[in-house]
Amino acid sequence: MIELDHVSKSYGARDSVSDLSFTVDKGAFCAVVGPSGSGKSTTLRMINRLIEPGAGRIRINGEDIGSLPREALRRRIGYAIQSVGLFPHWSIADNIATVPRLLKWPEERVQQRIDELLSLLQLNPATRDKFPHQLSGGQQQRIGVARALAADPEVLLMDEPFGALDPITREALRRELSRIHQSTGKTILFVTHDIDEALQLADVIAVLRDGKLVQYGTPMQLLLQPANDFVRDFMGGETLGLKLLALRQVAERVKPEPVPGEPIAPETSLAEALSQMVLRRTSRLPVRSAGGGAGGSIGLSDLVA
Amino acid sequence: MRRLRDPLLWLLPLLLFLLLGMPVLRPLFAAAFPGTTPPIYGDDSFLALFLSHAGYVALSSLAAAVIGIGLGIVATREWGAEFRPLLEALATIGQTFPPVAVLALAVPAFGYGPAPTMIALTLYGILPILKNALAGIGSVSPAVREAGEAMGLTPFQRLRDIELPLAAPTILAGIRISVIINIGTAAIGSTVGAVTLGNPIIGGLVNGKVAYVLQGALVVGVFAIVTDLFFERLGRRLRRFAARD
């Protein structure tokens, strides 16, 4: 659990973050979104004290982070950034082992952990002995995430980790992060300016503007009850309806009326179903049943219901 | 076969031959310079001159490396950042100052003998090392720095395990420049009372004995080239471990 309690930070006369309070529950995936200069990276970097907060308290699992030595705190928090920052003179294995070695894990356990993480991030075991410059951008970012997860931290902080990657690699890594989040149950704080990324990954989203919290809620709350025009515009403005469709699954709207054709899966998003309707020039699509029995269908009018 | 093309393989034996076997060349020099007696410089053995010369260079370069790298580290710390522009300017401007002038200026300050040579060599040697230490440590990417900090490395661990290894090839290049310049400058130290391979050169020039000038210059030249090749090889080895991202 991460608690921000009236946290402020100013540079000169300008407030970078002002009076920020929100709580991320244990195991939640929280996206911090906002335009450039809204203070989202500053917020993230105060949590591992790369930046010291000017005022207020930050607690992790109830413990005030100001009461811990900085290095000890950071070794308990995973950190991944857009520019990755792998150590170029260390092998991939040594890069991943950074924090476990700082924590003086026995070498046997370190080696075992490196293997675990390579397989968790679906990397070839031969990557172990390579050096960062020998890897592609996507592979480097996977190593960056593996390094952040290495010492099994309670909290994972990520600052636009996939921002520099091509769309296909980015999508693959988002899916993997989602899977890792589900399997490890880590509390994740994820900074992004890409609202689609936030909607796809997060359980809860904090919208920042000019260092202030504008709205904090689930993706559904933000889409259905945006606090103001800024949030509405940031969430997509005119295309807000489509984002809403992207969050819901066909299974919620399926009708027991079978129609012929290639069925779509029940976990398909409503946005994808709409896309299929357009592509197939039909207003009703067959849906495969979840249990294996008789399927149903979904119609255009079901999307808006 | 490729190993045979390594110039170090025949230049190192050549240096050893010049240091120990110069008397073998006596007939050659006697024939070329009939007026010079003895045909080979004989006030000191070339080995003794070399050891003294190399000693000056080694000691002054070591001191210069310690001071230069030390200052480079200080100026790249958060608390020492104020000194950085000053040191950078000093290192750059200082290097345009000819080493001979430094030596000349050291004499009125420290008198004749080994002292002015040692001091001039050390002071001048600091500059390229400092400049490269600042450049090398400064070129560690901000992402790598931030990652090191965020992983929980202490400031000392970041310096020892990240910054210095990444800056090592650049720092070594600075040491190489410094040592090569000092090998040349130390020879001129003979004019102010230091015992170096410059003795036969200066003595030969003063007394019109070209043979001595040639002998001294040959040894100093081969010494410089061998040293440079040695540094080149060391640099290649370092870069292999510190491939940049």
pLDDT of residue B48: 94
Flag whether pLDDT at B15 surpasses 60. yes
Chain B contacts of A83, Cβ < 8 Å?
141-143
A52, A60, A134, B176, B185 from B243: Cα distances, Å: 34, 38, 10, 20, 34
pLDDT tens-place string over residues A244-280: 888 888 888 888 888 888 888 888 889 999 999 999 9
Mean pLDDT, rounded, for A137-147: 94
Q: Is the Cβ pair B150, A74 closer than 8 Å?
A: yes
Nearest to A84 among B143, B154, B165 (CB): B143
* Total beta-carbon pairs less than 8 A apart between chain A and chain B: 69
- When pLDDT is cut at 50, 70 and 90, the band that residue B242 belongs to is low
* Residue A209 structure tokens: 């503007």
Residues A164-189: tens digit of each pLDDT: 889 998 988 999 999 999 999 999 99
**A87: phi then psi, degrees, rounded to nearest 5:** -80, 115
Q: CA nearest A132: which of A91, A74, A82?
A: A91
Instruction: Check residue A295 and give its pLDDT.
Output: 81
Mean pLDDT, range A84-95, rounded to an integer = 95
Going by pLDDT thresholds of 50, 70 and 90, the confidence category of residue B160 is: very high
**pLDDT digit string, tens, across residues B53-110:** 999 999 999 999 999 999 999 999 989 889 999 999 988 888 888 888 888 888 888 8
Helix (H, G, I), strand (E, B) or coil at A3: strand
With an 8 Å Cβ cutoff, are B245 and A132 in contact?
yes
pLDDT value of residue A178: 92
Q: What is the pLDDT of residue B13?
A: 92
- Give the mean pLDDT of chain A: 91
- Three-state SS string over chain B comes to CHHHHCCHHHHHHHHHHHHHCHHHHHHHHHHHCCCCCCCCCCCCCHHHHHHHHHHHHHHHHHHHHHHHHHHHHHHCCHHHCCHHHHHHHHHHHHHHCCHHHHHHHHHHHHCCCHHHHHHHHHHHHHHHHHHHHHHHHHCCCHHHHHHHHHCCCCHHHHHHHHHHHHHHHHHHHHHHHHHHHHHHHHHHHHHHCCCCCHHHHHHHHHHCCHHHHHHHHHHHHHHHHHHHHHHHHHHHHHHHHCCCC
Report residue A303's pLDDT band, with 50, 70 and 90 as the boundaries.
confident
Q: Does B241 score more than 60 pLDDT?
A: no
Q: Which of A83, A102, A133 sits opposite B143 (nearest CB)?
A: A83
Residue B134 has pLDDT above 90, yes or no: yes
Q: How far does A66 lie from chain B, in Å, by closest CA?
A: 15
| Min Cα–Cα distance to chain B from A161, Å | 12
Q: Do B152 and A50 touch (CB under 8 A)?
A: no
Query: Which of A9-13, A27-31, A59-63, A230-234 is least confident?
Result: A9-13
Of all residues in chain A, the percent with pLDDT exceeding 70 is 99
Q: Note whether A81 contacts B147, CB cutoff 8 Å.
A: yes
Q: Of B150, B152, B162, which has the smallest distance from its Cβ to A87's Cβ?
A: B162
Q: Is the pLDDT of residue B51 over 50?
A: yes
Query: Are the Cβ atoms of A89 and B146 closer than 8 angstroms?
Result: no
Q: Which residue of B has its CA nearest to A86?
A: B144
pLDDT of A13 higher than 90 = no
CA-nearest residue to B146 within chain A is A85
Cβ-defined contact of B162 to A71 (cutoff 8 Å): no
Query: What's this model's pTM, rounded to 2 decimal places?
Result: 0.86
- Which chain B residue's Cα is nearest to A84? B143
If you measure CA to CA, which chain B residue comes closest to A89? B242
ipTM attached to this prediction: 0.84
Closest CB to A71 among B152, B166, B244: B152
Q: Is the pLDDT of residue B177 over 80?
A: yes
Residue B245 — very low, low, confident or very high, per pLDDT cuts 50/70/90? very low
More confidently predicted of B179 and A243: B179
Taking an 8 Å cut-off on Cβ atoms, the answer to whether B147 and A88 are in contact is no
pLDDT tens track for A284-293 = 999 988 776 7
pLDDT at B243 over 70: no
